[in-house]
Structure 1
Amino acid sequence: MSEVADIFLGSVRDGFVQVSAFVAVTVLLFSYVQYRTDGRLVKKLEENRRAGPLVGALMGLTPGCGGAIVMMPLYVRGSVSFGTVVATLIATAGDAAFVILALAPEAALYSYGIAFATAILFGYAVDNFGLGVGRVDRAVRSLSTMATDGGVAAPVTGNKVHHYDDAAAGDVEGACDAERFGHDHDGPVRDSPLMRSVSLAALVAWWAAAAVGLGAGVLYLLRGAPDVPMVAGLSFAGLFTVAGIAGTTLSVYLYFVGRKYVGHGDVGRARDTFGSTYETLTHAAMETSFVTVWVIAAYLLYEYAMLFTGADIAGLAAAAGVLAPVAGAAVGLIPGCGPQIILSTAYAEGAIPFSALTANAISQDGDALFPLIAIDKTAAVVASIYTTVPALVVGVVLHYTWTAVFGLPQFGFGVL
């Protein structure tokens, strides 16, 4: 029982300081850019359609799902091509990027760089050659009688581009949120002055814990990632422990309770713009709290699996051979960021190879697929197929070449 408790407290503490504090800075930076630019970047893209796949890949590459989510309504409006959608989704790093950036930055550089190059090539290929979009569309339609809502297909260089009423298309994200959660994500969803006050206090305390955790996390890396004793106090180890445990506790509260009272309750979503500094800070905290919950869950799942089964997960992954990247690509088919965060955490723990990590990075669509599902289910299915094909190809190639040709290890590459 003592070992079980040690694993729990260690995971709760380390997950926040080693990952979440850095996630908070990244999400806040991206949200601040959205706040300051007031959506002007998106307007520029609509004026330069030929650059769509390149810009889409860049938007997808931004950590989190915000950049990719912004692109989906533009396709629904007919402002960007289907190739742009595919490029965006292939490059989408999702919230799993925060985990790899914090725990294995060199692996993140290579993995997401490969995904970015794949996104550009495949996105422009879809736009220029079609790659059977029409045939895939017909095959998908034959599996379901569900038609798209209000869409009118028009052929453009072999691809379909949908034109929707701007008012309806402008609320794609809201429609998606309503479908999944039953309420709009702007503003508090529950009216309780007491709980709102408590939640706002928790939000302020969370940012304080994140600031202390970031400082402790930077010192931790500068000191060479030493073992940190579980103590409380004003020492480095004490601040590391207090900030980690407090930060995770507050993250759990904000994710499960607080988000219902302070607004921006539907985490894992992005806005085109933010109306105030408060909205920007709140969104960053809620998004990071979401990542924290999943990271801690992944830590505990891995550590307890090792404790109770004694299984050598890395050995099993190595024995799987070429099936490891195939499995990584298959996990990427699951919409949302949760399963991808677990897979990224497993890589940081040395449980899966680099080829599987990269295949998953290419295949996963994160939360960006949900707005497309809400409006055009056929396009969403086709896009998922088109992100999985290059994921399988690149993953298998990396399985045979990463060590043999480049001399780099499959397991533990780039892990701090």
Structure 2
Amino acid sequence: MIDETHDPDLRCWVESAAGHAEYPVQNLPLGIFAPAGGAPRPGIAIGDRILDLQAVAALLPDAPARALGGATLNPLFALPAADRRALRRRVSALLSDEGQRDVVEPALHRAADCTLHLPAAIGDYTDFYVGIHHATNVGRQFRPDNPLLPNYKWVPIGYHGRASSVRPSGEPVIRPRGQRKPPQADAPDYGPTRRLDYELELGVWIGRGNALGEPIPIAEAGEHIVGLSLLNDWSARDFQAWEYQPLGPFLAKNFHTSVSPWVVTAEALAPFRIAQPPRPDGDPAPLPYLADAADQARGALAIELEVHLSTAAMRAQGTPPHRLSRGPASNMYWTIAQIVAHHASNGCDLRPGDLLGTGTISAPTDDGLGSLLEISRGGTAPIALPGGETRSFLEDGDELILSAHAAAEGYVPIGFGECRARIAPARG
């Protein structure tokens, strides 16, 4: 629903919100923050400030206000979408009405002085594989004549990840240890990964869930999606190549997943919905439980994704981060609603605060590839960086920065903030 909160002429009395690249008043993303010396609590990003929602609870609608008393957003996520919309409209009004400034301004904190936390207590995390160009590029390295397996265009592929190792942006990634077996070796050995990689993804936050045994119809899937974050599904490609058959990813994936801490809500993203790109001629139509005309007409999003890399040497020299890729989020073969509906199609119960990853989103061209595995052609074509360095995979001290912005004609662009992490040496 597009309403007054999306009005491009809406003005906020928080000065830094005007023209802010990430958090203008038209965005209002949700998160958990801790002010200096304070405990974690729910907040909304506005310009370079964070609004303490607990401090203004008396000014908010009753149901959301009651859900904001703790240190996670799970109770708020569990509410019907109508209650979250009511919260958004009320906060928008408070921040755009100069008459409310004296009451609300004391509840604002400088974002630079705050610590950001995971927005929810994550009960389960599932990572999908809906970026068809990534799937094709990776498959081609192992199966040049048949890169996509037969099930890919029939079923949204996914695997269950490890919720305990999901961390907010900024936490370092400790290089994992595991079994590695180069093709020429007779037996595996054990040690730090030599092929550490990133994956450019969107994270999908689940709101109101479903009862065990009750699927979520595709037409209702949107009501179960609170919003999106950026997500980096860190991958040890040498572990992955050795262990992934017959049961798929395990230790190659479960050591760390980074998410940006602000949840850009489904309501904020309403103006940026676009048609799902048509399937190529000859591809099968989705089975009925995944088919919905409205979702095909408005199920994709006009979001531009970017990845930057900064090495220790670049930082020492004052060299800005180097862009590795940029491309649209519409390069997804399945929509977000389809992956939610499929996840619950067997009766699996989704719960408020569950996190889904879309899988790596790559473009069909080299400037939009979403992983180093693709960019370096499996390590055979290292990329050149400013200052003369090269990379096939990530080295200790490297820092990856994911970013994203949604834009559409006639509306104010909004951003996701950053999802960044620096690689730390292996331990032990």
The interval holding the TM-score normalised by the smaller chain is under 0.3
| TM-score of the aligned structures, taking structure 1 as reference length | 0.26
| TM-score of the aligned structures, taking structure 2 as reference length | 0.26
